[in-house]
Amino acid sequence: MSDSNRSPIRDSRPVKHRHSTGYYAHRVHESFTARASKVLCAIFLFIFLFVGIVFFILWLSLHPHSPRFHMMDFTVPTLAQQSVLENALITFNVTARNSNQHMGIYYDSMVGSVFYKDRRIGSTSSFPPFFQEPKTTTIVQGTCGAATLTVNSNEGKEFMNDRQHGTVVLRLDITSGIGFKVSTWKSKHHKMHVNCDVAVGSDGSMLPAWKNKRCPVYFT
């Protein structure tokens, strides 16, 4: 067979493409940009996480806790001689606990009122304002003078019935404005309400089951 009829021989080896210097420089630039972006994202996430943890710790340590009130003593001395209250004297002893670790509490003047059901039967004069250091307990003592409940009223009849059965449930309400203090920072004052339910026997003394009972606290 002549040489003119032979098929040309093709080289099966892959052809190597040659790239310019600019192409490789562009690839290097893209790789550097991608790595730099990843590093910046990692740094940003780390800072964000660190700041979040710091703020969370500060919030836990500085988040104010409401004061805790407990009824320690409550007496109506003349109840044993009266079938119903008439110019009776009521004394009480309540503890206020500031459980905050680094936060003090400012109390405005306090006022105590005694209720039988929903009728107020006596109130105290205002207690002077005071400041309470962190992790301390303050004793609040008060006297309600001239406590009266009309015998002919529905509440008066219910009161006499409760007294005959040996248990009269009363409620002591304490109101005050309070504010919190950390170092030189002071919060605005909020209106605080403390509701202390307490039961006395027919002799006017607080029943043992109610001693050291915690009083609910709420704000308006």
Going by the DSSP 8-state scheme, the letter that residue 39 receives in this structure is H
Domain borders along the chain are 18-63, 68-219
What pLDDT does residue 176 have?
97
Going by the DSSP 8-state scheme, the letter that residue 167 receives in this structure is -
What pLDDT does residue 104 have?
95
The CATH class of 68-219 is mainly beta
Name the 3-class secondary structure at 26.
helix
- Between CA 74 and CA 201 the distance in angstroms is 11
Which range has the worst mean pLDDT, 90-104, 150-164, 188-202?
A: 150-164
Which range has the worst mean pLDDT, 20-29, 92-101, 182-191, 208-217?
A: 20-29
**Mean pLDDT, the chain, whole residue set:** 84
pLDDT band at 210 (very low <50, low <70, confident <90, very high): very high
pLDDT band at 216 (very low <50, low <70, confident <90, very high): very high
Asked if pLDDT for residue 68 goes beyond 70, the answer is yes
Going by the DSSP 8-state scheme, the letter that residue 15 receives in this structure is P
Mean per-residue pLDDT for 167-191?
Answer: 92
> What is the value of pTM for the model shown?
0.71
- Between CA 26 and CA 31 the distance in angstroms is 9
What pLDDT does residue 82 have?
80
What pLDDT does residue 44 have?
79
Mean per-residue pLDDT for 192-205?
Answer: 96
What pLDDT does residue 94 have?
97
pLDDT band at 106 (very low <50, low <70, confident <90, very high): very high
Q: Where are the alpha helices (DSSP H) in 69-203?
A: 154-164
Element at 74 (helix H, strand E) = strand 68-75
